[in-house]
Structures are given as structure tokens and as C-alpha cells.
Amino acid sequence: MNRFTTLASAALLAGLQFPATAALAAEKADSWPARPIRFIVPYPPGGTTDIVARGIGAKLGEKYGQQVVIDNRGGASTIIGAELMAKAAPDGYTMLLATATTLSINPNVVEKLPYDTLRDFAPVTQTVYVPFVIAAHPSVPANSVSELLALAKAKPGSISYSTPGTASTNHLGGALLEYVTGVKLLHVPFKGSGPAAAAVVGGQVSFVITGIATVLPFVKAGKIKVLAFAADKRHPNFPDIPSTGEAGIKNYESGTWFSVVGRTGTARPIITRLNKDIIAALNSPDLKERLTNIGFDVRTQSPEEFAKFIKDDLALSAKVIKAAGIKLD
């Protein structure tokens, strides 16, 4: 047998094997799920990510007749949970509630990350988006975001803002504001959204970038004033609050997002089914109302749309992080 005959035989054998492999994958997808699904949440129990994951898990469990087990693996800025997902079998029985921190920020601030966003994860869909607001202490002599930026331009670095921590999505919101407007602000990191808001209430910091739910009790008590939603348009649930877009700030949207990803290599029919069923779960009236009441917007995409979104967000985060010189200690 000459070399060309050998190559032809190998090619023929590969051609015969491929349909069998594809058929086997399709067969497994058709019988999925045949056992419980592990849903990794890279945060401690009881937080907002838990609410989203348990809401989705309960709906999927009802639909599939299989338990969706919430596995809280908090710590290391979501890296612990994400690494578990990156090492999971690509069989559809493990999924991860990934956040902007997991997929967009960590790759740009953490050296020797034990996972690769684009290599290790199969995008399923975004789930919710938390739009941020810019909220200031009543003593700050600004009643709009335009006036706040004018103060910052007059005295660069004199206007401070608080966030839940360095390299948080909130921090990137402030850095992006600097990036698109050219102002210089003073970042003051805290350990959590609560302490960050409390610092504004106490007058230690000029303003905070955070979700509306965090500051709403203080707003009602007259201890914080909301200047704007960090978005192009007004939020439909808060029509009296202006947007940064109205103030002429272009290309500025700040918030945080949660999503679901699987393991790269998972059969396409399983990813497609998860996408369809998670979207249906998020849009069920009871879960959607619960999420809306805590300041979340349901935001979903096809796997292809979400894959593009991740690539774009990774690139934007890289630009902002580099321009702001953001580093983790």
C-alpha cells in the first residue's frame, strides 16, 4: 500500500467515524438531562447572584424533572468557582453563573488566571443587568451629573467616588466616566456596596456608583441624591431620574451583568436548549417581577450574540483598565 492509498484510507475512516461521533453526541443531547445539574455560583450564599441562580435553578428543575444543585464557591474574585467550571466535563451537567468580573475584568487584571474566558467557556446567555446610578451626598454643590463633572474639571482629583472595591464593575464605571469625559476623579474603594454607600451618607465621599437598590433607602430618607442613571436613556421604572445620555455623555453605560456559561465542547443542542429554557425562566412573571423589584433588568441573548458581547466587553474593559492603570494588589 503506497502513501497516497494510506492517506485515502485514513480519510475514509475518519469520514465514517465522524457521523457516528456526531450521532452519539446527538443521542446524548436528546436524553439530556438524565441526572441532576450542578450550577456553580462563584459567590457566597445569600447575595444577589444567589437570588438569580436559585430562581433559574428552580424553574429549570421544574421543567426538566431533575434537581439543579446550587454550588456556592465564593472567593478570590470569582476565580475559585470559574476554575471549577473550566475543569468540568463538557457534558451539560455543570454550568456557571458568570459575572462581568469573571469574564471581562479578571482576564485584564489577574496574572496567571487559571481559566481563559474565550477558550474554556461556552456562552449560553446573559441573564440580568444591573444599571448603575451616580448618587451624591446632599452637600455636594451639584444637582445634575453635568454640574458634578464641571466641579471635577475645575478641581481635578477633588471629587471622590466610592465603590465596593478595586477592579469591581463599579470601579470600571468610574474609570469609564473618566475615560469618556476626560475628568479626573478620586477613587475610594470599600469592602462591599453597603460600606461604599454609607461613606457617601457620612459625607466621607462625594458620590457613589452603584445599583439603585443599594441607595434607594437613603434617597427616601433624604441622605443621598441620585443625579443620573449611567445609561443613554431613562430607566422605565424610575422615569423621574435623568440619564447620563441626556447630559450629553456619549458611549457611557455603566452597570454589572450576570450570565450563564457552560463548558466549551458541550453539545450544541444542549447549549441551545439551555438558552431557550433559561430565557423562558427569566421571563416568567413571578421571577421577572422578583428580579425587577431588586433593581435588575432581565437581559438575554442568543449564544452567538452573547459570544460577541463577551469579546466586545473584554476589549472595552482592557482599554479602560489600561487607561486608568487599574491593578490588583
Q: Indicate which CATH number applies to the domain containing 135.
A: 3.40.190.10
β-pair partners for 38: 69, 94
d(CA 166, CA 156): 20
**Residue 235 falls inside a structural domain:** no
| pLDDT of the residue at 329 | 65
d(CA 289, CA 296): 9
| pLDDT of the residue at 192 | 87
Same domain for 110 and 33, yes or no, is yes
**Residue 224 falls inside a structural domain:** yes
Sequence length of the chain is 329
d(CA 53, CA 76): 19
**Residue 169 falls inside a structural domain:** yes
155 within 8 A of 222, measured Cβ to Cβ: no
Asked whether the predicted pLDDT for residue 18 surpasses 50, the reply is: no
Q: Domain with 76 in it: what CATH number?
A: 3.40.190.150
Eight-state DSSP code of residue 101: I
256 within 8 A of 213, measured Cβ to Cβ: no
Higher pLDDT, 221 or 3: 221
**Residue 234 falls inside a structural domain:** no
The average pLDDT across 134-161 equals 96
Same domain for 218 and 164, yes or no, is yes
Which are the contacts of 45, defined by CB distance < 8 A and separation ≥ 6?
Answer: 72
d(CA 98, CA 96): 6
**Residue 89 falls inside a structural domain:** yes
**Residue 241 falls inside a structural domain:** no
Provide the 3-class DSSP secondary structure of residue 208. strand
| pLDDT of the residue at 213 | 87
Asked whether the predicted pLDDT for residue 24 surpasses 70, the reply is: no
Residue 15: which H helix or E strand, with range? helix 3-30
Same domain for 276 and 287, yes or no, is yes
- In terms of residue numbers, what domain contains 90? 29-129+256-324
d(CA 81, CA 295): 25
| pLDDT of the residue at 108 | 95
Q: In terms of Cα–Cα distance, which of 45, 179, 177, 173 is closest to 100? A: 173
**Residue 247 falls inside a structural domain:** no
| pLDDT of the residue at 11 | 44
**Percentage of the chain with pLDDT > 90?**
81
- Tens of pLDDT along 73-92? 998 899 999 999 999 999 99
d(CA 52, CA 192): 19
Same domain for 222 and 267, yes or no, is no
Same domain for 175 and 108, yes or no, is no
Same domain for 165 and 190, yes or no, is yes
Same domain for 142 and 115, yes or no, is no
Mean pLDDT over the full length of the chain:
91
| pLDDT of the residue at 29 | 72
Same domain for 319 and 275, yes or no, is yes
Same domain for 74 and 112, yes or no, is yes
Same domain for 288 and 316, yes or no, is yes
- Tens of pLDDT along 230-283? 999 999 889 999 999 999 998 899 999 999 999 999 999 999 999 999 999 999
Strands 160-163 and 186-189: parallel
**Percentage of the chain with pLDDT > 70?**
91
Number of folded domains in the chain? 2
**Residue 238 falls inside a structural domain:** no
Provide the 3-class DSSP secondary structure of residue 134. strand
Picking from 187, 212, 229, the residue at the C-terminal end of a domain is 229
pLDDT confidence of 6, banded at 50, 70, 90? Answer: very low
Same domain for 70 and 100, yes or no, is yes
Same domain for 79 and 114, yes or no, is yes
d(CA 32, CA 272): 12
CA–CA distances in Å: residue 52 to residues 39, 132, 244, 309: 11, 18, 27, 20
